[in-house]
Amino acid sequence: MKASRHPHHRGMASRSRLCSRTHAACSPAGPGAPLAWAVWLIVGVGGKASALALGKFEPPTGCYVGAFVEKDDRVLGDFAEFEKLTRKKHASYFTYVGYGRLFPAEWVEKVKGCGAAPHLALEPNEGLDPVKDDDYLRQWARDAYAADCPIFLRFASEMNGSWSAYYGNPKQYVEKFRLVHDVMEQLAPNVALVWTPFAVPQRNLQAYYPGDDYVDWVGVNIYSVYVHNGDPGQPASEEDPIGFLRFIYETYAERKPIQISEFAATHFCRAVNRSTETFAVAKMKRFYQTIAQSFPRVRMINWFSFDSLGHGIADNNYSLTANKSVLDTYCALIAPEYFLSEVPYERDKYRLALGPAPPRVPALPVPPPLPDLLPPAPPAQSLAASTEEDWLALLTTRGANATQVSALTLQGVHAGQEVAEATELVAVVPSRIQAVYALFELDGRVIHGTNVAPFRCHLAPASLTPGTHEVRVVVTDRAGQERATNLIPFRVPGAPQP
């Protein structure tokens, strides 16, 4: 991952040469040459050229297509069905993993089984303090290496957004990103580290950049929405998604391959309560066609196929499969050969060098056991795979959803639901409220208060009597004004006590 250095203060070449369509014949290394050492050219209008080393897993030309389909209501993570609908094999699929959860080996094998490269968004939604060079992270890296395939690891994305649990401390963020990089470099050389901010705000973005030696790809999450913050008074329909890409591209594309880590355009907007299909189609065409024509170092685009409106998380429907016109447009846009269906993997290049075996040491006699002087240590906390609660928390705190909420809502339980197992409640707060504190109330009594966003509360039905209960959340903004959700009734199963 440290194959080459490009100092930050190096003079940027003419920006026009980074946006030239004349890049097609740009792989002097030729077919079959190791990509990490290949060189490609960006030719400018004035005829000058810049030779750049290809990044890890970067194609000499073209752009990988990828998607998030785990929660698409029509395919539910069925890659074969998704590719049947889109009429094209995809090069990559991505999913989210909460930091502290196991490496998703089963999901990775499913992605490999369809001939694609896994793309994992590892999100420390409890903040950055738990991110350490410890047994958990090292085992996660070993499991990634054991997968024996190219893996794009997007660590702690959207760090420049106030909705993220790791926003506000660039120094700590850089330190933790570098730590994760170093562990992966040592134990999982088949992992490419992706640094992905949200498209806005841009003013604080570069303070979070870990440095060229610690980043393999630079990503960006871009969404075309009809209004901002769920407010019809803040129209966004005239915004150009290419405009959001341009800053990232002009800042980093001469040093790193660019990944559109997430993109989507809404085809239904709750804030205006109508279809925005025409809007979505226009933005899709603008984005995919312009990238293919003018942004040669955008090497991957991932569509976020999720109906945040239908799932009660936010105000937009981004699902490709829920609208025929949107799906047909997507199929046509990715059909050209420029959009690639496979990430090449030179297995031998990414094998760990094990070195000679250490010399054998004569076994020493085993001493007798010492008497117990201390009480036994508590059992280590067991790790678990991702759960539905994780999905709720992870999707709620994505910029695509966190910035597109029109009303304060409480996720994790709905009216009339039977709650038999412990669950996590999440307060989804419109960004315009600028909430600083949240109180969770159960049956009129405060059960939890927190000033750490995203605001969450653990609900344990085992401690409640069987029957009907009511829950709500009350948030306080910077001006001291309180806002509350309606009471949400739910039922704990079992015979009610007399």
pLDDT confidence of residue 463: 85
Whether residue 454 is preceded by a cis peptide bond, meaning omega within 30 degrees of 0, is yes
- In CATH, the number for domain 408-492 is 2.60.40.10
Q: What is the H or E stretch that residue 181 is in?
A: helix 170-187
Determine the Cα–Cα distance for residues 434 and 374; give it in Å rounded to an integer: 49
Average pLDDT over residues 196-223: 96
The pLDDT of residue 438 is: 86
Residue 496: the pLDDT is 56
Answer whether 262's CB lies under 8 Å from 222's CB. yes
Four-residue CA torsion sign, 19, 20, 21, 22 = negative
**pLDDT at residue 2 above 50?**
no
Higher-pLDDT residue of 308 and 435 is: 308
Identify the pLDDT of residue 395.
Answer: 64
CATH 2.60.40.10 maps onto the chain at 408-492
What confidence category does residue 392 fall into, taking pLDDT thresholds of 50, 70 and 90? Answer: low
pLDDT in tens, 141-161: 999 999 999 999 999 999 998
CA 474 to CA 435: how far, in whole Å? 10
pLDDT at 27: 36
CATH 3.20.20.80: which residues of the chain? Answer: 60-349
- Whether pLDDT at 427 is above 60: yes
Residue 483 pLDDT: 87
Model confidence at 384, pLDDT cuts 50, 70, 90, reads low
CA distances (Å), 365 to each of 362, 368, 372, in order? 10, 9, 21
Over residues 324-371, the pLDDT tens digits come to 999 999 999 999 999 999 999 999 999 886 544 445 445 445 455 444
Cβ atoms within 10 A of the Cβ of 357, count? 6
CA 233 vs CA 63, 144, 227, 237: distances in Å = 37, 46, 8, 12
Q: At residue 197, does pLDDT exceed 70?
A: yes
Kindly tell me if the per-residue pLDDT of 373 is higher than 70. Answer: no
DSSP string, 126-175: T-STT--SSHHHHHHHHHHHHT-S-EEEEES--TTSTTSTTTT-HHHHHH
Alpha helices in 64-134 (DSSP H): 79-86, 105-113
Between 171 and 373, whose confidence is greater? 171
pLDDT in tens, 260-291: 999 999 999 998 999 999 999 999 999 999 99
Mean pLDDT estimate for the chain: 83
pLDDT in tens, 249-261: 999 999 999 999 9
pLDDT for res 354 = 56
pLDDT at residue 390, rounded to an integer: 62
Least confident of 214-218, 410-414, 469-473: 410-414
pLDDT in tens, 404-413: 556 788 877 8
- Could you tell me the pLDDT band of residue 452, with boundaries at 50, 70 and 90? confident
Better pLDDT: 387 or 487: 487
User: Using 50, 70 and 90 to split pLDDT, how confident is the model at 389?
Assistant: low
DSSP SS3 for 111? helix
CATH number, span 60-349: 3.20.20.80
Residues 180-190: tens digit of each pLDDT: 999 999 999 99
Q: Regarding predicted confidence, which is higher, 491 or 15?
A: 491
Q: How many CA atoms lie within 13 A of 380 on its CB side?
A: 5
Produce one character per residue of 173-209: b if its CB has 16 or more CB atoms within 10 Å, e if not: bbebbbbbbebbbebbbbbbbbbbbbbbeeeebeebb
Question: What is the mean pLDDT of the segment spanning 393-416?
Answer: 67
pLDDT of 32 strictly over 50: no
> Half-sphere exposure (CA, 13 Å, Cβ side) for 169?
11
Residue 162 vs residue 471, higher pLDDT? 471
Give the pLDDT confidence of 34-48 residue by residue, as tens digits: 333 345 455 432 334
Contacts 24+ apart (CB under 8 A), 344-348: 344/35, 344/57, 344/59, 345/57, 345/117, 345/149, 345/150, 345/190, 346/34, 346/35, 347/148
Comparing 85-99, 127-141, 228-242, the range with the smallest average pLDDT is 228-242
Provide φ and ψ at 291, rounded to 5°: -60, -45
Long-range CB contacts (within 8 A, 24+) of 73-79: 73/307, 73/310, 73/319, 73/321, 73/322, 74/319, 74/321, 74/322, 75/321, 77/110, 79/110, 79/111, 79/114, 79/116
Q: Which residue has the higher pLDDT, 280 or 4?
A: 280
